Amino acid sequence: MKRRDYPIVGLVASKNPVNALVLTVESLFKGGAIRVIVVNDGSDDASSVRIFKKVEKIGGEVIHLSKNVGKANALKEGFKRIPAHSVIIQTDDDSLSGDLQKPAEIIRSRRADIVDIRVEAARTKTLIGQEQEISYWLMNAFIKRVQDRLNARLWLSGCSLMYSHMAGMELIMRQAQTITEDTEGLFRARQKGFVVKYCADKSSAFMTMAPEDFKGLHKQWQRWATGNAQVMAIYGLGGGSTHIAIVNLFFWFYLLVWPAIPFILNGLVSTLFWWFVSSILIGIVAALRLNRGYLALVGIVFPIIGVLWTYHAVEGFWLAYRRTKQGQFNLTWISPKRTLTIDA
């Protein structure tokens, strides 16, 4: 079979899912997947039985694991069922797929082996949730595009990731040593010569749920920061690539050091004023791009996200150091329970 004819197969790992999983599987079929494999990672909630039966009723294939083995190992079990001549789309159990044909064409045409697809936050109701909507937009509109232009992707999104079967052997089947198995897989795959691209196309974008309280956000961001620090401890700043190391160094400098510089140079009042002005501008642009007018007002408090980024970056470095000293690397990390219903 020629690569341009490779079919799209969906892969999802889930523990104690809510109804969003059914919508996720439906969206993958609608987006172009011919098969969707869902791995039940040792669910112990009685309501999960009903959810998985719904998935099977709409055509999904469910693999039931007798005990919880963690996302990385659950994905391995599903990957074993996927034929070599396939394009694999991996997502979380609370995300909605867009049109999968455009990112699949990037792989089929051999322009890339791994495609990180645009992901946006589903509409939220709380202030923390709306702050993240702006953050997701900023990430897609600027940061991911810049990293892609520089061929220096620093992380992957586990909820909107597409790859060839060969690349999947590095991303999925190799044992992870950190709690961010997707980003660690990126470093391994790049060292093997696999090409990574970012698909910014809005029609292909995934919609995902974001934690709407600080407890959920803290757990999610703590995992990201700690895992990325662990990846650097193992692979270095760039995994052997100088330009990736430079981009990574700039990114962590911006998180850890840059917030203090304006205070030192300009003082508290002047710094707060410029943060306020820039936040309003970001909020206005984000509101226009996302067609949500009141996000312009939410942008007023956008500096809170900057403070939280810095806090979690510092915390992540510290936790990564402690766990490395204690010999803890590969951990099972349960994501915060998110029970919002995504509008189909």
If you average pLDDT over residues 197-211, what whole number do you get? Answer: 91
Residue 132 domain flag? no
CATH classification at residue 81: 3.90.550.10
- List all residues 6 or more positions away from 324 whose beta carbon is below 8 Å from its beta carbon: 230, 233
Domain annotation covers residue 277: no
Model confidence band, residue 331 (pLDDT cutoffs 50, 70, 90): very low
Can you tell me the distance from the alpha carbon of 285 to that of 291, in angstroms, rounded to the nearest whole number? 10
Q: Looking at per-residue confidence, does 61 or 314 come out higher?
A: 61
Domain count, the chain: 1
Instruction: Provide the pLDDT confidence category of residue 76 given band limits of 50, 70 and 90.
Output: very high
Q: Does residue 332 have a pLDDT over 60?
A: no
Taking the whole predicted model, whether its pTM rises above 0.75 is answered as yes
Which among 15, 42, 39, 12 has a CA at the least distance from the CA of 337?
15
d(CA 197, CA 148): 6
Q: From the CB of residue 2, how many other CB atoms can be counted at a distance below 10 Å?
A: 7
Residue range of the domain that includes 16: 9-124+152-210
Mean pLDDT computed over 174-189: 86
Q: Is residue 20 part of a domain?
A: yes
Among 29-43, 158-172, 258-272, which is the least confidently predicted range? 258-272
Q: pLDDT tens digits for 117-128? A: 999 988 888 888
